[in-house]
Amino acid sequence: RSDERRISSAELVTALRERQKRNPDQPVVIAADKDVRYEAVLKVMDELQRANISRVGLLVRPGTP
């Protein structure tokens, strides 16, 4: 996607805090590529939780039969 870019964990937390200040009910949805290690996703979720980012969930795409 053309809107994708790399950011640090600190930048992610700052951006999400700003968005949730404007809209506290806005959920955060994590959609990881199938090649991303599960531990990396858990690390991001842990960092968001420690930063008091609320309403974090995972996007799950059904597999093909």
More confidently predicted of 63 and 5? 5
Between CA 10 and CA 43 the distance in angstroms is: 13
Residue 13 is predicted with a pLDDT of 93
Residue 60 is predicted with a pLDDT of 81
Question: Using one digit for the tens of pLDDT, what is the confidence trace for 5-51?
Answer: 889 999 999 999 999 999 988 899 998 888 889 999 999 999 999 99
Residue 23 is predicted with a pLDDT of 92
